[in-house]
Structure 1
Amino acid sequence: MKKVLITGAAGFLGSHLTDKFLKEGFYVIGMDNFITGDKKNISHLADNPNFEFIEHDVTEYIKIEGDLHYILHFASPASPIDYLKIPIQTLKVGSLGTHNLLGLAKAKNARLLIASTSEVYGDPLVHPQTEEYYGNVNTIGPRGVYDEAKRFQESITMAYHRFHGLETRIVRIFNTYGPRMRLNDGRVIPAFMGQALRGEDLTVFGDGMQTRSFCYVDDQVEGIYKLLFSDYSYPVNIGNPNEITIKDFAEEIIKLTNTEQKIIYKDLPVDDPMQRQPDISLAKKLLGWYPKVEREEGMLKTFNYFKSLSEEELHKSEHKDFSKHIKK
């Protein structure tokens, strides 16, 4: 039985990847320090004999006994609320954490896949974004702690690949959604759905003409899985190219939730990207991958998940420190 280590295993994407690898017959070691992860995301695996969990911060030395064949590095804050609240930890997990995992992969002769992001493109001047685009990033802005952590992560991973001959893979993840997202974590979908469920007006930042492209989690996981077992070491975009403006998306949410909320507008956060749309030509050619879940279907599944949350979870606010990051 092949053994895989998944960091950030109690997070949104990490927990879905854990389920995928267990389903495919792997022995999975999950690792998380619960800064942003949630124990309930992996509670259903407590009695699974092929799952082992280690509570650990990847910025500290990592020791794994025995053989290890694959590593997936998904330990990182991934929402604006998180990386604006804990900027130093965000930089450390992308730098020190990645360095530790590269060292572990080298010692175990394991293949390492790192989770990069569309944020390496910053506020793009090229649309849609291809893997060849170097990006337009404000290194000293409040979002730079996340953007640059991921850009450094890509650089050190390629250095280990070239210098040590390490087997590495890099996935650039575009906006992904689905069950197990944290409500009110600052990302568009849980923010809108949480507001709708609480009977609040939906908050759109700026004029709402900025765009996003949303990929359902099952499609994202399948793309990541295929990339891990490919022979390609350079970055690959995995996302859904179906682009929509935030204003139109807010109207979709109001229709989906069958509520009568209005849309209210607030100032745009600093360095908020105006366009997000992946060019997935490489993923189609290299992996034979493309997203299959339509937004209407995926949003309904996600909304049903949020509706199942307790009243306490529904009304828990994580927006306390966000106002100071709004452009004045």
Structure 2
Amino acid sequence: MASMLLGASSDMIYRGHDAQAALGGDGYSAKKQHRPVGPCRARARALRYVLGEQRLVFALVGMAIASFVLLLAAPSGRHGAAVKTSGQELMSGSAAAGLAARQYTGVARMAYEEPRRVPGRVPLGLKRKGLRVVVTGGAGFVGSHLVDRLLARGDSVIVVDNFFTGRKENVLHHAGNPNFEMIRHDVVEPILLEVDQIYHLACPASPVHYKYNPVKTIKTNVVGTLNMLGLAKRVGARFLLTSTSEVYGDPLQHPQVETYWGNVNPIGVRSCYDEGKRTAETLTMDYHRGANLEVRIARIFNTYGPRMCIDDGRVVSNFVAQALRKEPLTVYGDGKQTRSFQYVSDLVEGLMKLMEGEHVGPFNLGNPGEFTMLELAKVVQDTIDPNARIEFRPNTADDPHKRKPDISRAKELLGWEPVIPLRNGLPLMVHDFRSRIFGDREPDASTAAAAGDD
């Protein structure tokens, strides 16, 4: 034990002597002889020197190793033993090494490779991204059915309506849907929203309503359209204008094609609507040409279905309401003027195909099946009450004598045509009108009997 302590003490003295010499203390000599150093101690000193003085070298070596690993992990089109050929795996080395290589390569491919996509198809497992859509006049007859379809396909919909002809009840069933929002607003005043598409339907469409305040009607058509076009330009949204067959006026061409310029009285009692819509089409095309705005134009012909205003003066709603109330069916003029009637779901399908397509339009959207007013009255009698009387009254001013769309362009370019005939669609409208007219009250016996024919 004493010898061990003595050795440790002498070693401490010797190391202290070396430290003193290294600091330049007394007795330092460049020619001082050191104790011989063994090979193990020499290697240890060399390793300590490299670790202490060559940090940069180790950093560079570490970076090189990391780069090499990344190069191995990056996709190169070849994965050595991990590539599958003709349904079999080509493996080199042991089975364990091959399995590890496959697992590593799979992770690397997931991390660095983009999924391959086939043009025009949505990759499996991915859903269509919902759009942000604003529907002006979305609480109205056509607008509410359009909102139903847009929400059903997963879009987020904002309804903008001043409820002049629209009804909250038309969209009340969407209350609580996080993708639905309703704003009470008149499009004559500007509005700022962030949307992808704009369906511009805001405008009273029946003679009773648009004649009630003709100045307001033409302001809605002109100023309201300007405001919505300005919104579309600011946010880069695609814009669809719902125009009307009334732009053809009392047509001299039959059936009407989109290239026909019309025969409109610019100072008549209907011109606030007819000329207003013609101006709206002009503005839409000017924004398209001048501001490179994506636009679509639909010219809508007579449409019917649930949620129509009961007393809006349009012929189908007039006949249905009158027959249900046991009133005479009022036919204006000689009843030989013609109209074409499409069910609302057919129209909504056409509007959506137009918006999603690549063609500006205008497109006629209507049913080319043509009915005289007397023929329509007969269909209503057959559907509701065979004993309903017909009463003739003087015709209204500027009432078109013929109206029938040529939908060749819509068939060819949109792949659209109506599929629901009048005799199939009318009972659906009758059911809606009956519930709204009578409410919880039971209709009289004759009306209840007629309901069985539906």
Deviations 1:87-120 (A, max 9, x none): 1111011100000000000000000000000000
Alpha-carbon distance in 1 for matches of 2:161, 2:209: 15
Deviations 1:166-186 (A, max 9, x none): 000000000001000011200
Once the two structures are TM-superposed, the CA of residue 24 in structure 1 deviates from its matched residue by 1.3
Show the counterpart of 2:202.
Answer: 75
Show the counterpart of 2:215.
Answer: 88
Once the two structures are TM-superposed, the CA of residue 192 in structure 1 deviates from its matched residue by 0.3
Mapping for residues 135-284 of structure 1, pairs under 5 Å: 135-284=262-411
Show the counterpart of 2:120.
Answer: none
Alpha-carbon distance in 2 for matches of 1:301, 1:99: 36
Query: What secondary structure is seen at the aligned counterpart in 1 of 2:204?
Result: coil
Query: What secondary structure is seen at the aligned counterpart in 2 of 1:308?
Result: helix
Deviations 1:23-78 (A, max 9, x none): 111100100000111111011111111001110000001121xx310000000000
Once the two structures are TM-superposed, the CA of residue 310 in structure 1 deviates from its matched residue by 3.7
Q: Quick check: 1:196–1:259 contact (8 Å CA) kept in 2?
A: no
More helix by share: 2
Show the counterpart of 2:239.
Answer: 112
Once the two structures are TM-superposed, the CA of residue 260 in structure 1 deviates from its matched residue by 1.1
Show the counterpart of 1:301.
Answer: 428
Considering Cα pairs closer than 8 Å and 6+ residues apart, tell me whether 1 or 2 has the greater RCO: 1
- Do residues 14 (structure 1) and 143 (structure 2) align? yes
Show the counterpart of 1:321.
Answer: none
Alpha-carbon distance in 2 for matches of 1:199, 1:60: 43
Alpha-carbon distance in 2 for matches of 1:60, 1:106: 16
Query: What secondary structure is seen at the aligned counterpart in 2 of 1:309?
Result: helix
Query: What secondary structure is seen at the aligned counterpart in 1 of 2:392?
Result: strand
Query: What secondary structure is seen at the aligned counterpart in 2 of 1:150?
Result: helix
Once the two structures are TM-superposed, the CA of residue 238 in structure 1 deviates from its matched residue by 0.5
- Do residues 60 (structure 1) and 189 (structure 2) align? yes
Structure 2: gaps spanning 5 or more residues: 1-129, 442-454
In terms of mean alpha carbon deviation, does 305-314 or 141-150 score higher? 305-314
Once the two structures are TM-superposed, the CA of residue 2 in structure 1 deviates from its matched residue by 1.3
Q: Of 17, 20, 25, which residue of structure 1 is paired with 2:154?
A: 25
- Do residues 97 (structure 1) and 221 (structure 2) align? no
RMSD: 1.2
Alpha-carbon distance in 1 for matches of 2:358, 2:131: 18
Query: What secondary structure is seen at the aligned counterpart in 1 of 2:181?
Result: strand
Alpha-carbon distance in 1 for matches of 2:283, 2:368: 28
Once the two structures are TM-superposed, the CA of residue 234 in structure 1 deviates from its matched residue by 2.4
Alpha-carbon distance in 2 for matches of 1:196, 1:310: 12
Query: What secondary structure is seen at the aligned counterpart in 1 of 2:308?
Result: coil
Task: Percent identity, please.
Answer: 51
Alpha-carbon distance in 2 for matches of 1:37, 1:175: 18
TM-score by length of 2: 0.68
Query: What secondary structure is seen at the aligned counterpart in 1 of 2:211?
Result: helix
Structure number with greater Rg is 2
Alpha-carbon distance in 2 for matches of 1:294, 1:251: 15
Alpha-carbon distance in 2 for matches of 1:95, 1:227: 22
Q: Quick check: 1:226–1:287 contact (8 Å CA) kept in 2?
A: yes
Deviations 1:196-232 (A, max 9, x none): 0111110000000000000000100000000001111
Q: Of 404, 410, 418, which residue of structure 2 is paired with 1:291?
A: 418
Once the two structures are TM-superposed, the CA of residue 312 in structure 1 deviates from its matched residue by 7.5
- Structure 1 moving runs of 4+ over 2 Å: 310-314
